[in-house]
Amino acid sequence: MVAYFFNLQNRENLKTVMKMSKHFLFALLSSCVVAVFVHCQDQSGFISLDCGLPEGSNYDDVDTGINYISDAAFINTGDSKTVSPVFSTVSTVLSNKQLWYVRTFPENIRNCYNIKVTSGTKYLIRATFMYGNYDSQNKVPDFELHLGPNLWARIRLYNESRVLPFEIIHASTLDYINICLINTNLGTPFISAIELRPLKNSTYVTQSGSLMLLARYDMGSTTNRSVRYGDDIYDRIWRPYITSTQLSTKSAIASSDDYHPAESVMSSASTLENSSERIFVYFETFDPISQFYFYLYFAEIEKLQVNQSREFNIYLNDEMWFGPVNPTYLNTTTVFSIAPIGKGMNYFWLNKTKNSTLPPIINAIEAYTVKEFKQSQTNQSDVDTIIKIKSTYGVNKHWQGDPCAPREYSWDGLECSYNGYDPPRIVSLNLSSSGLTGNIAPDLVNLTSIQNLDLSNNNLNGSLPEFLTKLSYLRVLNLSHNSLNGPVPGFLAKLTSLRILNLIGNKLTGSVPAELVRRLEDGSLVISCDGNPNLRCYEKKKNKFVVPVVAAAAALFTLLVALAIWLIQKRRKEQAFGYKRNDSLELKSRSFVYSDILRITNNFKRILGKGGFGTVYHGYLGDTQVAVKILSSSSSQGYKEFQAEITLLMRVHHRNLTNFVGYCNEGAKKGLIYEYMANGNLQQHLSGP
């Protein structure tokens, strides 16, 4: 953004003004010198992190009196580095200790600070960067700065000594914020300092979005030095803007609203020598669709005589914006936007009224652009739960920032649902082979949208807890290869959404309860429970006569239907596949349509092998790997193999046979879905390379 301040007799020079060089602003914004205005003020709510400062260290800044602490407690990644001595002796850095250290992130794409805040409170958040050749590479990196799951700014420093602060006014709806550095493969991200300052919620009100600072000027500076805390209670940094004519006073300046601009800023003002002139302030950004909010501050600092008056109107882009303004003696008046102002370029005219004998004045100005953060953060309950689970089990994963958003940086082992602007929800959690010990954590029930839970290949013990029945959307529960003990409880049948239950390789005892066996037999549930020495997987204690009769009748029925289909096929063997859907495959709960097969195999992306039946493809059912056999239309014996294999897999369960997951029987499109075996097939192991 570019800003200029001019005294103009008329608008004839406007085009010349707009063509002026923009390099002036970069030099102005790069300055980081601060004035010594240290007052004894309350720093409650301030969060001041010197990034890279050794863990456990802290200090009081000599200029502001603000207490800075190490950032080590707010992030568990990154390395602490010091800037090159060449840069630490530069005057702007020498007086600003927060620039001596940096935290750099050579590993991981996304690294995030987690900072506790008060939910709903508006904060001024400032992130500061100075490269300082900390790595002796003389190569300034380029990376992204994110606030939560949303892009805040692109960090481009251009040279080693440039100090680049980014400020935003933002209110978090959660009780924490994440500030993240994103590696874009253009150098290693780093950061020098992070500062949070609570504001009054009555200030900087927008219709939507947050406010990113473009400029904050002390328009009548007489010192050419920046002003911040403790002269400014919110620690806003006011940059000096020198003009040809200034007014100043040593008297105290009051502030009657909640904005409270720094008193030293308000004790001076820019004005004009010729009362017929008008003040012109011009702003431009490189984004033509930006929306702005402006805050103009006025205070009369001259004791006017009886025959003197100061009154002026404010014009924005040639239209009357506010007025008349009659600055109050030694008291601040704030004029601000109540709605966003469009265009990439805006200019103000301050023009005295006919009743005024004195020219207009301006003491300070702030300009912000609206930053819309459209990506919602993950549901707060899900975030709290997954963090507790990580703490309970000591999960050693690179879990930083928002669990689900942005989608490309979601946490390893998680899958989430996304529905417009609604907060994402965790629907799948895979903690397989994560070194988990102890009981199944009760916190899991707070993942109320979970559909797939994989806790396999750990060392969990204890019994199967009843609180699992509260996971009303759970479809796949994999508890295989743990040390779970006790009986398989019948209350698991209450999980009516459950389709796959894997209990292989535990220490469970007794028999699978009748409630679960009934669901197994009606096809609504697939149970795998081999490898439990003291567990009888599918024995039922009741109806010992009825069950064998029903099973025999079902087997006979299956055989008769298979025979009928074989006879029909024999008569039509020269015809293409014209089967009807109502053949012998009646396990409706295991039935998949062809579109499901396409989704599961990612449009048949990966081939595992080929045989007389057809081609076998790799796929995913949720987070579970599966193998999908597709019946080939060129195979004359394919359908018989298809029929025989599905009959076998529906009736036989053994630890040395792959588990049957489901089938597709949609006209000529037929396929089987079963457990994926990662170590290849028998032929490969027998024949060798």
The answer to the question of residue 295 being in a domain is yes
Q: What is the pLDDT of residues 78-115, one digit of tens each?
A: 999 999 988 766 655 556 899 999 999 999 999 999 99
- Domain containing 155 — which CATH number? 2.60.120.430
Domain co-membership, 361 together with 472: no
Range of the structural domain that residue 483 is part of: 386-397+412-536
The DSSP bridge pattern shows strands 254-255 and 331-336 to be parallel
Q: Does residue 377 form part of some domain?
A: no
346 is a domain residue: yes
Under the phi-then-psi rule, with left for phi > 0, alpha for psi from -120 to 50, and beta for the rest, what region is 433?
left
- What string of H, E and C letters represents the secondary structure of 132-193? CCCCCCCCCCEEEEEECCEEEEEEECCCCCCCEEEEEEEECCCCEEEEEEEEEEECCCEECE
Instruction: Let me know: does 584 contact 564? Beta carbons within 8 Å.
Output: no
**Do residue 339 and residue 221 come from a single domain?**
yes
Q: Which amino acid is at 115?
A: I
Cis peptide, bond prior to residue 324, ω within 30 of zero: yes
Final residue of a structural domain among 485, 513, 536: 536
- Res 110: pLDDT: 96
Q: Is residue 587 part of a domain?
A: yes
Domain boundary among 475, 501, 536: 536
Kindly report, residue by residue over 399-410, the tens digit of the pLDDT.
999 999 999 999
What's the token pair of residue 666?
Answer: 């949609």
H helix runs in 36-146, sequence order: 85-88, 91-94
Feature table: binding site: 629
Read off the tokens for 301: 């600092």
Non-local CB neighbours of 296 within 8 Å, separated by 6+ positions? 314, 334, 335, 336, 348, 362, 364, 365
DSSP one-letter code for 102: E
Residues 621, 672: contact at Cβ < 8 Å? no
The domain that holds 250 is classified in CATH as 2.60.120
pLDDT value, residue 688: 59
Determine the Cα–Cα distance for residues 267 and 227; give it in Å rounded to an integer.
12
pLDDT of residue 13: 46
Using DSSP's 3-state secondary structure scheme, residue 685 falls into helix
- Distance CA(215)–CA(26), nearest Å, equals 11
Say yes or no: 261 and 192 in one domain. Answer: no
Q: Which residues contact 130 (CB under 8 A, 6 or more apart)?
A: 83, 87, 93, 99, 102, 157, 161, 162, 163, 164, 192
The answer to whether the peptide bond before residue 360 is cis (omega within 30 degrees of 0) is: no
541 lies in some domain? no
The backbone region for 240, taken as left when phi is positive above 0, alpha when psi lies in -120 to 50, beta otherwise, is beta
Taking CA 538 as the corner, what is the angle to CA 534 and CA 540, rounded to the nearest 5 degrees? 100
Decide if 406 is inside a domain. no
d(CA 269, CA 217): 11
Both 170 and 58 in a single domain? yes
Question: Which pair of structure tokens corresponds to residue 639?
Answer: 């359908």
DSSP string, 228-283: -TTTSTT-PPBEE---S-EEE-SS--EE-SS----HHHHTEEE--SSTT-EEEEEE
List of residues 6+ apart from 133 with CB closer than 8 A? 83, 84, 86, 87, 160
Is residue 251 included in any domain, yes or no? yes
Contact 445, 466 (CB under 8 A): no
Question: Domain check: are 637 and 663 in the same one?
Answer: yes
pLDDT value for 108: 93
What pLDDT shows up at residue 134?
95
Last residue of a domain, one of 199, 227, 253: 199
3-state secondary structure of 641: helix
C-alpha span between 450 and 527 (Å, rounded)? 19
DSSP 486-540: EE--GGGGG-TT--EEE-TTSEEEEE--HHHHHHHHTTS-EEE-TT-TEEESS--
Distance between CA atoms of residues 685 and 87, nearest Å: 63
309 and 335 in a single domain? The answer is: yes
Is the previous residue joined to 609 through a cis bond, with omega within 30 degrees of 0? no
303-336 b/e (C-beta count within 10 Å ≥ 16 → b): eeeeeeebbbbbbbeeeebebebebeebebbbbb
**What CATH number does the domain containing 527 carry?**
3.80.10.10
Query: How confident is the model over 412-448, as pLDDT tens digits?
Result: 999 999 988 889 999 999 999 999 999 999 999 999 9
Amino acid identity of residue 204, one-letter, is: Y
Same domain, yes or no: 182 and 224 = no
Q: Please tell me the distance from the alpha carbon of residue 216 to that of residue 296, in angstroms, as a whole number.
A: 10
Is 218 in the same domain as 367?
Answer: yes
User: How many whole angstroms separate alpha carbon 166 and alpha carbon 33?
Assistant: 16
pLDDT at residue 604, as a whole number: 84
Q: How many domains does the chain have?
A: 4
What token pair was written down for 96? 């600003």
Q: In whole angstroms, how large is the CA radius of gyration of the chain?
A: 35
Q: Which long-range contacts (CB under 8 A, 24 or more apart) does 337-340 make?
A: 337/292, 337/293, 337/294, 337/295, 338/205, 339/207, 340/206, 340/207, 340/291, 340/292, 340/293, 340/370
What is the total residue count of the chain? 689
Longest dimension (CA), the chain: 116
Write out residues in the chain with pLDDT < 70, as ranges.
1-41, 88-95, 538-589, 612, 633-656, 681-689
DSSP bridge pairs for 535: 510
With beta carbons less than 8 A apart as the criterion, state whether 613 and 636 touch.
no
Residues 463 and 486 sit within 8 Å (Cβ to Cβ): yes
Task: Please tell me whether residues 338 and 417 are part of one structural domain.
Answer: no
Annotated binding residues for ATP, as ranges?
Answer: 629
> Residue 610's pLDDT is what?
78
Q: What is the dihedral of CA 45, 192, 286, 278, to 10 degrees?
A: 60
- Can you read off the two tokens belonging to residue 677? 């075996």
Does the residue 35 lie in any domain? Answer: no
Are 424 and 351 in a shared domain?
no
Let me know: does 160 contact 195? Beta carbons within 8 Å.
no
Looking at the DSSP bridge assignments, the partners of residue 193 are 50, 128
Do 553 and 531 fall into the same domain? no
Cα-based angle 313, 317, 322 (whole degrees, multiple of 5): 30
Q: Which residues contact 492 (CB under 8 A, 6 or more apart)?
A: 464, 468, 469, 498, 501, 513, 515, 516
CATH of the domain at 657: 3.30.200.20
Residues 429, 564, single domain; the answer is: no
